Amino acid sequence: MAAWYAETFHAGRYYATNVRLGSLHPVLGTENLPEFYQKALLGSFRRLADLVVYPPPDLWIVEAKVRLQPIAMAELEVYGRLAANTPEFLPYRDVPLHLALVYIVPDHLVIALANEKGMLTIQLHPPFEEELLAGWEARKISPTVATV
């Protein structure tokens, strides 16, 4: 869904999916660990954004959900903060950064809160929408009903 969004709304621009964001060096008290473990942790605290659309003229970080959920807004906010510490983004430090939530099934409260935070919210209707929704419905977890 993220790639379809990029190809449809950012045609001709370079994009990547599942992009790691954040510093390469862990910052959670790893200095006392042996060097082997420090190297093993290199980049492990980075987070994966669903989609990044690269400049010119601007940088987009996109979180894609079939059904928009509050967690998507928090994830996108984290990605926006991590972008400044991502070594691969150093050349793009001076370009405008856009944070966008793309989804099929809306949640109007999340949309309102995201817009208050300056995030863009875009409802998609890809040609494979019915397939995505059918798969999503099949995977939904329903509450267990207990009888006594």
CA–CA separation, 103 vs 106, rounded Å? 7
Per residue in 7-43, pLDDT (tens digit) is 999 999 999 999 988 877 655 566 677 776 665 555 5
The predicted pLDDT at position 139 comes to 61
Helix (H) or strand (E) holding 138: helix 129-139
The predicted pLDDT at position 39 comes to 58
Q: When comparing pLDDT for 63 and 135, which is higher?
A: 63
Section 100-111 average pLDDT = 96
Question: How many secondary structure helices (H) and strands (E) does the chain include?
Answer: 5, 5
H-state helical runs in 57-104: 70-83
> Within 13 Å and on the Cβ side, how many CA atoms surround 130?
1
CA–CA separation, 91 vs 46, rounded Å? 19
The predicted pLDDT at position 86 comes to 87
Predicted TM-score of the model (pTM):
0.79
Tokens of 23: 């510093």
Distance of CA 98 to the CA centre of its chain: 12
